A and B are shown apart, each in its own frame.
Chain A
Amino acid sequence: MSVWIAVVATGLGCYALKLAGLVTPQRVLDDARMRRFTELVPVALLTALIAVQALADGRTLEFDGARMAGLGAAVVALLLRAPFLLVLVIAAGVAAGLRLLGL
């Protein structure tokens, strides 16, 4: 039963956080500096997310060769202007391929 409480509490808590940003008063967000800040926040958070997903496992930093090679391949694909889905296939494919080879 207590697992159910944890599940529902987590769900409600996560929802409340999502709502919190959306209901911020308009006049706070209309300020020019605030606007520039909020425009850059997703860039900062998503880049941080990429870095953490690529290099961390919980609180441990780890360098996974196959994962980094997959992301490196994604960068090359992006530089060559590959379509979005192809970038994903290449990234996952390179990592999976290297792991299959035991590298």
Chain B
Amino acid sequence: MEVTEAEKAAAPAESTRSAAVRDGLGVGLAVGVSGVAFGAAAVTAGLGVAQACVLSLLAFTGASQFALAGVIGGGGGLVAGSLGAMLLGGRNALYGLRLARMLDVRGWRRLLTAQVVIDETTAVATAQRGRAAARAGFYTTAISLYLTWNVTTLAGAAGAARLGDPDAIGLDVLGPAVFLALLWPRLTAGRTEVRVAAAAAVIAIAATPLLPPGVPVMLAAFAALPALLRGTEK
């Protein structure tokens, strides 16, 4: 599966769409495996199996889930833990701004679609060329990741699948590698994109020691602000 396939301007709609579906399935399955790590971490932190599963079904945004489990495990306050988890989910609202026009969903479909507006679905959707491919990539990632993430959460929480230390098999590298691979075509295509990306990385790293987790990443949206001031510049 070549991410670069999506770049070929002349490629027929059918092939860009099937490339998007392959991207989506790959991300859904690869990232979904981390649900085992979440399930195990949640139970270790003191959540029940049912609580871990409900959190995956309802929150369905990995960073927030790990954060809440971490606070509960560390004996922290539940109110602060929940608020911290929501802070991490704040970036999904920003993704929605981009996806609203791309997906163009209304009514009850929009209510369902909202649940799967997360890092992975946005990354796959925005990596595609053309609206049909973007939609196909978004929903393929959404469905495969939602199913995998929830099944593996149950497996991890119930102890059916023990990973030991997730870092030992390199799971901590998987997340950033997925986003890097999906962003790659855009980073190598446009100068504006590279500038925005570099500024975003600097903002997020500089803010990390100073602000609660989740805020630095959202703060990095400021890197895209020059586009708002000079809309016509490419």
Question: CB < 8 Å: which of B3, B114, B198, B227 contacts A15?
Answer: B114
Are A84 and B1 closer than 8 Å at their CB atoms?
yes
How many Cβ-Cβ contacts under 8 Å join chain A to chain B? 310
Q: What 0/1 pattern do residues 169 to 197 of B give for CB contact below 8 A with A? A: 11111111111111110110000110011
Are A92 and B59 closer than 8 Å at their CB atoms?
no
Question: CB < 8 Å: which of B97, B126, B224 contacts A24?
Answer: B97
**A20, B61: Cα distance in complex, Å:** 15
Are B100 and A22 closer than 8 Å at their CB atoms?
yes
Nearest Cβ in chain B — how far from A95, in angstroms? 4
Kindly report which residue of chain B lies nearest to residue A9, judged by CB atoms: B82
CB-CB under 8 A from A48, the residues of chain B are: 200-201, 203-204, 216-217, 219-220, 223
**A83, B47: Cα distance in complex, Å:** 38
Are B173 and A10 closer than 8 Å at their CB atoms?
no
Are B232 and A88 closer than 8 Å at their CB atoms?
no
**A7, B229: Cα distance in complex, Å:** 40
A103 at the interface (CB under 8 A from B): no
Q: What 0/1 pattern do residues 50 to 69 of A give for CB contact below 8 A with B? A: 11111110111100101100
Nearest Cβ in chain A — how far from B7, in angstroms? 11
B115 at the interface (CB under 8 A from A): yes
- Tally of A interface residues using CB under 8 Å: 77
CB-CB under 8 A from A22, the residues of chain B are: 96, 99-100, 103, 105, 110, 113-114, 117
Question: Which chain A residues (1-26) contact chain B, with CB distance < 8 Å?
Answer: 2-15, 17-24, 26
Are B110 and A55 closer than 8 Å at their CB atoms?
no
Question: CB < 8 Å: which of B114, B170, B193 contacts A93?
Answer: B170
With contact pairs A29-B97, A48-B217 given, residues A88 and B54 touching in the complex (Cβ less than 8 Å): no
CB-CB under 8 A from A26, the residues of chain B are: 100-101
Interface footprint category on B: 35 or more
**A7, B59: Cα distance in complex, Å:** 8
**A22, B199: Cα distance in complex, Å:** 26
**A26, B104: Cα distance in complex, Å:** 10
Are A11 and B58 closer than 8 Å at their CB atoms?
yes
With contact pairs A48-B200, A49-B176 given, residues A7 and B209 touching in the complex (Cβ less than 8 Å): no
Question: CB < 8 Å: which of B54, B115, B168, B201 contacts A18?
Answer: B115
Are A51 and B59 closer than 8 Å at their CB atoms?
no
Are B168 and A21 closer than 8 Å at their CB atoms?
no
Interface CB pairs A-B, < 8 A, 12: A8-B58, A21-B93, A32-B232, A37-B228, A52-B204, A59-B212, A70-B177, A81-B2, A84-B26, A88-B26, A91-B173, A92-B177
A18-B61, A95-B170 known; 16 new pairs, CB 8 Å cut-off, are A13-B85, A17-B86, A18-B115, A33-B228, A37-B224, A40-B193, A43-B187, A46-B179, A49-B204, A50-B183, A52-B217, A55-B208, A59-B211, A61-B208, A84-B26, A91-B174
- 8 tightest A-B contacts by CB? A21-B96, A11-B58, A33-B231, A92-B170, A48-B220, A48-B204, A91-B177, A40-B224
